[in-house]
């Protein structure tokens, strides 16, 4: 696993989880080729490259209100407490956006 962090985003390679000071940032059911996470004014956004079918959980400090995968709004069942969780059905590159509850 390799990771980079700046003030504005995380970049993680060849990993299935990341935590910061013991607090989970993300976890997946299979290792991901890459993940980029960026906080924005309304929540988180980023890109994920998967090697196979994978479920991904992104942990946020506040509850999520909506999750978009490749600009498609996912069902409310995607949001579970402090985590947004969704399935990426096959190998490929995906974009996501998590909007926090106000």
User: What was the pLDDT predicted at 17?
Assistant: 92
Run means of pLDDT, 10 residues per run, the chain, 102 residues: 66 91 92 91 91 93 88 84 89 94 76
Q: How many separate domains does the chain show?
A: 1
Any idea what the CATH number is for the domain that residue 44 is in?
A: 2.60.220
Phi, psi of 81 (to 5 degrees): 60, -130
CA distances, 82 to each of 1, 61, 66 (Å): 24, 6, 12
Q: How far apart are CA 26 and CA 60, in angstroms?
A: 9
Its domain, for residue 86, covers 2-100
């Amino acid at each position: 696993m390799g990771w980079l962090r700046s003030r504005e985003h995380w970049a993680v390679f060849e990993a299935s989880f990341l935590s910061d000071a013991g607090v989970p940032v993300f976890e997946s059911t299979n290792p991901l080729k890459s993940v980029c996470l960026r906080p924005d004014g309304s929540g988180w956004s980023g890109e994920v490259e998967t090697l196979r079918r994978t479920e991904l959980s992104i942990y946020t400090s506040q509850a999520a209100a909506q999750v978009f995968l490749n600009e498609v709004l996912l069902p409310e069942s995607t949001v579970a407490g402090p985590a947004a969780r969704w399935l990426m059905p096959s190998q490929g590159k995906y974009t996501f956006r998590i909007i926090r509850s106000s």
